[in-house]
């Protein structure tokens, strides 16, 4: 499509709804669809488009005529630049309403499912400072504002923070992130200042060199703190001096770990993580249970709301004490152990060996004897042989990643034909797709959306299916 056709000005168009990936959607007077960033349903705006696709445009707002009643001031100085928190300019009550709407529409449109009345979405008490895990990137390619570029002043390009929206190689230097409570911001800012003072090099994503690469900070509701520093080069003197400085500045850190990762990507699951100070785990509490969380462990990133989510799962399961339960995509076995006291036995499965190791250790620590765990790719391990070895479950809980369940897993679920299926999802679109494959055998009895990620468009949804 020629440039003259994609760079169009639309005046005084109304933003009518939210869309995928945190965007908003507006309609022109001619009925054309335009997707926008940083817009809120109810805004009336002028837009210049920068991309045309079959059936829609993408554009940028150049003027506001009317601000939506759902709009509020973003609290973060990095809003609109940082790749996260895309709904921070929307009142929290409106966020909840649009998340609930998305779940409903996906279940109807994609799933083609006959729905009961949906339970109201479960919101949080505090929509900030809720994350227990944050991962920050170091880069010598800091994103610069137009003013900084035009100033002609030499600027330190080192940054530690998050990717600029839509740019894999540019990092926004984050001063204060409002998603994870202190000491998170203090630790990150201290490491940045130390690095500048001691001339430590930041990672170059293009040239694949440099020293500092990433920083993970994990916390618990009991105020334990884990810090994992990832470096690209093995330079013990530089690394150990930095780690010693962190411990001196933050003596209450529970676990200080590091990893030397020379790969092209910065994923840690295939790397050796070394504990430098303290223990190699932190501990989260939920009711009478304790969960040891390692650097590689999956744990819901909102601890307080995870408890609300698991209570929904437990309520939907309605266990009487004699049930065999499968917990697919179990992670560190949190759901499995949370419901085990009301079941005869729970069997959890996950693909990450470290997660299963943690699940087994947590079960021993919590003296839970009616759970067992197996490691394997779900579509390869969840087979007839698995069922013959473990017995026919009457209830299956499944909590897959964003992509949903593999079609082979869905088919095996249908062949197993449990009385009830509880499907926990962080992506209601793929959840609805999977439910559509099961609707001939199962009726949707209840659906409960749970807001785990305020200020973002993400939402968890739990559905209860009962065999027809």
Would you say the C-alpha torsion 446, 355, 305, 166 has a positive or negative sign?
Answer: negative
Asked whether 317 and 338 are in contact (CB, 8 A), the reply is no
Sheet arrangement for strand 274-278: 171-173, 159-163, 133-139, 212-219, 225-231, 255-260, 274-278
Measure the CA angle with vertex 57, ends 51 and 61; round to 5°: 85
Asked whether 349 and 329 are in contact (CB, 8 A), the reply is yes
- In sequence order, what are the residues at sequence separation of 6 or more whose Cβ sits closer than 8 angstroms to the Cβ of residue 152? none
How far is residue 218's CA from residue 299's CA, in Å, rounded to a whole number? 10
Residue whose structure tokens are 């968890």: 460
How far is residue 202's CA from residue 219's CA, in Å, rounded to a whole number? 25
Q: What is the largest CA-CA distance in the chain?
A: 73
Beta bridge partners of 463: 423, 447
For the record, the structure tokens of 324 come out as: 């065999």
Phi, psi (rounded to 5 degrees) for 179: -95, -30
How far is residue 308's CA from residue 338's CA, in Å, rounded to a whole number? 12
Residue 426 known to be catalytic: yes
Distances from the Cα of 267 to the Cα of 59, 173, 263, angstroms: 33, 21, 9
Q: Identify the burial level of 288 via C-beta atoms within 10 angstroms of its C-beta, where 0-12 means exposed, 13-18 middle and 19 or more buried.
A: exposed
Q: Among residues 76, 82, 85, 426, which one is catalytic? A: 426
Angle between helices 92-109 and 428-438 (to 10 degrees): 30
Residue whose structure tokens are 């930095």: 242
Q: Reply yes or no: is the peptide bond before residue 275 cis, omega within 30 of 0.
A: no
199 phi-psi bin (left φ>0, alpha ψ -120 to 50, beta other)? left
Angle between helices 407-416 and 428-438 (to 10 degrees): 40
Computed on alpha carbons and rounded to an integer, the radius of gyration of the chain in Å comes to 24
For the record, the structure tokens of 288 come out as: 């009478």
The residue length of the chain stands at 468
Phi, psi (rounded to 5 degrees) for 386: -60, -45
Residue whose structure tokens are 């088919």: 411
Active site positions, annotated:
426
């Amino acid at each position: 499509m020629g440039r003259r056709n994609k760079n169009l000005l639309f005046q005084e168009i109304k933003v009518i709804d939210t869309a995928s990936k945190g965007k908003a959607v507006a309609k022109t007077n001619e009925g054309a669809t335009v997707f926008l960033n940083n817009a809120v349903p109810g805004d009336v705006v002028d837009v210049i488009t920068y991309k045309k696709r079959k059936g829609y445009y993408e554009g940028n707002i150049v003027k506001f005529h009317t601000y939506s009643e759902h709009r509020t001031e973003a609290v973060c100085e990095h809003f609109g630049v940082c790749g996260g928190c895309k709904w921070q300019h929307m009142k929290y009550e409106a966020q909840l309403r649009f998340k609930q709407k998305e779940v409903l529409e996906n279940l109807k449109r994609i799933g083609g499912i006959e729905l009961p009345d949906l339970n109201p979405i479960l919101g949080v008490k505090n929509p900030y400072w809720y994350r227990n895990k944050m991962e920050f990137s170091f880069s010598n390619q800091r994103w610069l504002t137009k003013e900084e570029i035009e100033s002609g002043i030499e600027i330190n390009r080192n940054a530690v923070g998050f990717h600029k929206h839509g740019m894999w190689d540019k990092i926004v230097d984050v001063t204060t992130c409002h998603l994870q409570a202190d000491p998170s911001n203090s630790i990150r800012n201290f490491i940045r200042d130390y690095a500048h003072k001691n001339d430590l090099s930041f990672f170059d994503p293009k040239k694949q060199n440099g020293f500092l690469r990433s920083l993970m900070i994990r916390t618990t509701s009991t105020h334990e703190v884990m810090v994992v520093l990832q470096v690209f080069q093995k330079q013990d003197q530089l690394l150990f001096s930095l780690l010693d400085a962190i411990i001196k500045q933050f003596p209450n850190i529970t676990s200080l770990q590091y990893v030397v990762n020379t790969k092209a990507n910065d994923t840690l699951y295939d790397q050796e993580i070394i504990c430098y100070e303290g223990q190699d785990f932190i501990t989260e509490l939920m009711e009478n249970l304790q969960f040891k969380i390692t650097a590689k462990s999956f744990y819901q990133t909102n601890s307080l709301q995870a408890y609300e989510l698991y209570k929904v799962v437990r309520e939907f399961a309605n266990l009487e004490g004699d049930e065999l339960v499968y917990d697919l995509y179990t992670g560190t076995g949190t759901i499995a152990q949370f419901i085990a006291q009301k079941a005869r036995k729970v069997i959890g499965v996950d693909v990450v060996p470290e997660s299963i190791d943690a699940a087994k250790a947590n079960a021993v620590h919590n003296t839970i004897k009616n759970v067992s765990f197996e490691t394997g790719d779900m579509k390869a391990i969840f087979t007839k042989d698995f069922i013959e070895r473990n017995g026919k479950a009457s209830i299956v809980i499944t909590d897959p990643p964003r992509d949903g369940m593999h079609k082979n897993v869905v088919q095996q679920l249908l062949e197993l034909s449990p009385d009830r299926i509880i499907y926990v999802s962080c992506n209601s679109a793929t959840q609805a797709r999977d439910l559509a494959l099961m609707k001939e055998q199962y009726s949707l009895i209840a659906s409960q959306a749970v807001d785990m990620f305020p200020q973002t468009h993400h939402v968890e949804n739990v559905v209860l299916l009962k065999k027809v």
